Structure 1
Amino acid sequence: MTNHDSALPAPRLGEPYLLTPGPLTTSYPVKSAMLRDWGSWDGDFRAMTVEMRTRLLAMLGQGADDFDCVPMQGSGTFSVEAMLGSFIPRDGKALVLANGAYGQRTAETLAYLGRDHVVLDKGDYLPPRGDEVAQILADDPEITHVVAIHCETSSGILNPVEEISQVTYAAGRKLLIDSMSAFGALPLEVARIRYEALVSSANKCIEGVPGFGFVIARKSELEAAKGNSTSISLDVHAQWATMNKTGQWRFTPPTHVVAAFLEALRAHEAEGGVEGRGARYIRNRDVMVAGLRDLGFETLLKDRWLSPIIVTFFCPADPKFIFDDFYELMKAKGFIIYPGKLTVVDSFRIGCIGQMDEHVMRQVIAAAKDTLDEMGVKSATPPALALKERAKLAA
């Protein structure tokens, strides 16, 4: 589809926009960067790895000299597992803050790793709060680490990581952050929010393509991690030590993905870094949410907890609304949306990230309106049960 109204170019004629939390719609320069082959041991590629690590560290702001960046092959989940297995000692114990699929996956990963852990399960969409975390830490002195999800994309909630950090360190424990879907658009300056390590991925807010993730951690934690991991390929310390000694990845790197990611990092800087990228995503969210609410749709979350990454909407109560049909009709108009992950009520999600701006979001609203008309849906109002569930957020 063409995009005459947008300040950003269309991804490619006929290519739909991915309204998802990654993989997402990338720019043509990012795609084009993958057209060249690179030798994984060559000096030019080693220089690319150095530039990538340096640019990522710069996003931490003042205090970044105490940290280092370790890219890891594979999907983002590979890097999450690498972080957990490398920084939580075998005799450690983690408190997992869960309010969706990714917190639950963290707990499952720790079980696979044989790491002792407890879970604060807030259900599908309630945020973990500082007083709750503080009480658990006070009651269980064996807990050594707290693991928080920055943005839980199964619901779209933005969790209060600064508040969580404050109570974690007040209790003398350490914080690990899964910022998979937020890093690069939401600030995590180490001078303001204390943590030992964070993890993210190439195909999220920096707008690269899938193929690797990265762990950013304190150098002191990286040094102390030697011997913790039970995996040869997911050992963050070993990857870090090898990169610093040789400039190379231990195993075959995703060379084309790294080249694309460097192009994305340069575009990220040109847009104004974390602040500029985040501002565009916030505007995307605000325009999209306002427009869909005008059509009668209701968000799962109150405004306070809405992330600028992805937003969950309740499905309409109208019996003519069938999500699979809505999905296909939106796709035919050039927009691929995301199914919901809630267990109590039906929902769907729309992402705000990627090569899109507010003009594209206005096209999304128009497409949704036309699609409801085609389906014969008279009202997008959700069922009473959905609004009852949302009322729990008022607590």
Structure 2
Amino acid sequence: MPNRDWSHLLDIPSFPAENYAVLADRLGALMGTRNDVLLIQAEAVLALEAVATSLAHPGLKALNIVSSPYGTWFGNWLAEGGADVVNLTAAPAQPVTLEAVKAELEHHPDIDILSLVHAESASGILNPLEEIAALARERGILTIVDAVASVGGHALDVDGLGIDIAVIGPQKALAGTAGLSAISVSPAAWTLLQHAKAPRISMLSLLDQKEQWLDLGRHSLPVTPAPLEFFALQAALDRVEAEGMSEMQQRHELAKQATRSGLLALGAQLWVPDPVASALVTTVVLPPHMDRKTFLSRRNIAGADMTAGVGPGTERLVRLNHTGQRATEEAVLANLTAFSQALEVHGHANDLDTALKTAIATYRR
């Protein structure tokens, strides 16, 4: 990376205080909700920890769906706060099945909350959010959804699905920075958050956010604002709204389908079946006896972004990234070229020309 002068990022003017509420409303519109939206000045993992820590207390029973390390962390945070946590762990690097969720709900009729991740960029899977949310709604169970990766790449209708708490971040499909995140909270969730063990005077306290932000008219944030992050979020939302959410989701879907068709033309083994594959990254199983670290060392093609899978069950997986501004034809072709050349270096003959033509055909339909 060339040396650059970043001094233009210093001495940033204050972000207009009246625009914080505007940003919250714009984020709510992207999420499909009229619920309260909290602005969290941190990467989304802190927002997720704040949700779990604020909810957790003795007497609360949670069904926590684990399909990546993020689900594991969320369950641990709930348990540390005294909640009775039933962890439903999906097969390694696979989505949870609806049947497994139904069985756990039947076995535990006293569940109060259900938590899950929508799309997993760690493994490229998509959990059946709509169906799971419907099950929870039928039983009067509050639903908490980690939609950090999925928002913008997949449809997210918080109010339509009855999601009580949703956590999002702009750094994935929305192609913003990672320094801010947002939480939507329903009236029913606020009721559950009111308990004696709720954290206070803490960055993890949602009640502090409510009292110091919502209850005071959303005129100023409860902590010192980071104007650079808010200007960046505003710019990201400008770009998202100019394109349109449905168009952005379609762009991700095209990138997914073009990547999958190109990889199949290369003879690659796709990890996730199409109906449960995320539109954010595509995961591939490396051929037997091929070292992943060595394979990835050959990925140096301009514009390509191939990385290792993350978490249990991903030890043989490689991810081709087509998230956010990378959900383009050019990025897809660069990824396929890098994958093809890495195969070839390892003695696996393949037809790159056919793969590229196959991928391009997806964009010409």
Give the alignment's TM-score, normalised by structure 1. Answer: 0.79
In 2, the alpha carbon distance for the partners of 1:375 and 1:344 equals 21
Contact persistence 1:206–1:268 (CA under 8 A): yes
2:308 to 339, 364, 369: 339
CA deviation digits over 1:337-363, x for unaligned, max 9?
Answer: 221234375111122212121222112
Q: CA deviation at 1:148?
A: 1.3
| 1:38 matches 2:13 | yes
Work out which of the residue numbers 128, 141, 150 in structure 1 matches 2:96.
128
Report whether the alignment pairs 1:353 with 2:323. Answer: yes
- After TM superposition, give the deviation of residue 366 of structure 1 in Å: 1.9
Equivalent-residue separation in structure 1 for 2:11 and 2:257 (angstroms): 38
Q: Which residue of 2 aligns with 1:269?
A: 241
Of residues 221, 226, 231 in structure 1, which corresponds to 2:189? 221
**Aligned mate of 1:241, from 211, 227, 234:** 211
Residue 202 of structure 1: how far off its partner (Å)? 2.4
Letter in 1 for 2:226: P
**1:154 Cα offset (Å):** 2.4
Contact kept in structure 2, 1:295 and 1:369, CA below 8 Å: yes
Give per-residue Cα distances to partners, 1:265-290, cap 9 Å, x unaligned: 111011112x1111111111111121
**Hey, what's the Cα distance between the residues in 1 that align with 2:44 and 2:7?**
23
Query: How far apart, CA to CA, are the structure 1 residues paired with 2:7 and 2:177?
Result: 12
1:112-191 aligned at under 5 Å gives the runs 112-191=80-159
Q: CA deviation at 1:122?
A: 1.6
Moved more, 142-151 or 341-350: 341-350
Question: What's the counterpart of residue 29 of structure 2?
Answer: 58
> 2:355 aligns to what?
none
Pairwise CA RMSD: 2.6
Equivalent position SS for 1:279: helix
Once residues 314 and 299 of structure 2 are traced to their aligned partners in structure 1, the CA distance between those partners, rounded to angstroms, is 24
Q: Distance in 2 between matches of 1:290 and 1:277?
A: 20
Contact between 1:129 and 1:163, CA under 8 Å: does it hold in 2?
A: no
Q: Following the alignment from structure 1 to structure 2, what is the Cα–Cα distance between the partners of residues 129 and 371?
A: 34
Whether the 8 Å contact between 2:153 and 2:323 is mirrored in structure 1 is no
The counterpart of 1:288, out of the listed 249, 254, 259, is: 259
Specify the SS of the correspondent of 2:324. coil
TM-fit CA distance, 1:153: 2.5
Question: When the two structures are aligned, how many residues end up with a matched partner?
Answer: 342
Q: Which has the higher contact order (CA 8 A, sep 6+)?
A: 1
Which of 296, 321, 326 is matched with 2:295 structurally? 326
Identity over aligned pairs, percent = 23
C-alpha contact (below 8 Å) 1:229/1:235 kept by paired residues: yes
Cα distance in 1 between the residues matched to 2:97 and 2:298: 40
1:255 matched residue in structure 2? 227
Q: Secondary structure at the match of 1:251?
A: coil
CA contact (8 A) 1:88 1:145 kept: no
| Aligned partner of residue 28 in structure 2, secondary structure | helix
Instruction: Give the conservation status (yes or no) of the 8 Å contact 1:180–1:204.
Output: yes
The residue type paired with residue 52 of structure 1 is: L
Q: 1:146 to 1:127 in 2, by over 3 A?
A: same
Residue 123 of structure 1, CA deviation? 2.1
Task: Report the secondary structure of 2:17's partner residue.
Answer: helix
Is residue 53 of structure 2 the alignment partner of residue 81 of structure 1? no
Question: What residue number does 2:74 align with?
Answer: 106
Q: Unaligned regions of 5+ residues in structure 1, if any?
A: 1-13, 16-30, 381-395
The answer as to 2:162 corresponding to 1:194 is yes
Question: CA–CA distance in 2 between the matches of 1:32 and 1:272?
Answer: 33
